Amino acid sequence: MAEARTTPLSRISRPGSAVDLIFDWIGAVQANIGTVQANIGTVQANIGVIQANMGVMPADTRESIESLHADIGGVHADVCRPGALGAAQADTREVLETAVTSSI
């Protein structure tokens, strides 16, 4: 039976050898993976903050819409007030007639 031969890493990897460069590259890749994982953690935390802010936004939006609705209701009440449009139309007609008559 043949014995399994083992080669010490120091004999394979010598400074500047192809194997040594591969090990250096693997080490750099592992360091980059660690950095990417840390960045993913930061992104996940930021997403959590955004989601929390989105929960607050609808309340603010609802209040704004309710305020706008109240303002529109006020304008509608003014427009629908008896005689409001009639008076505005009469004033506009008078101004237009004056402008037309003056230019002739």
Residues 6+ apart with CB under 8 A from 84: 78
| In-domain check, residue 48 | yes
What pLDDT is recorded for position 29? 87
- Give the number of domains in the chain: 1
pTM for the structure as a whole = 0.37
Q: What angle do CA 22, 25, 30 make, to 5 degrees?
A: 125
* Residue 55 domain boundaries: 17-103
Continuous segment of H or E residues that includes residue 3:
none
What pLDDT is recorded for position 62? 75
| In-domain check, residue 53 | yes
Residues 6+ apart with CB under 8 A from 30: none
Under 8 Å between Cβ of 15 and 8: no
- Reading the block at residue 43, the tokens are 């992104």
pLDDT, mean of residues 24-29: 86
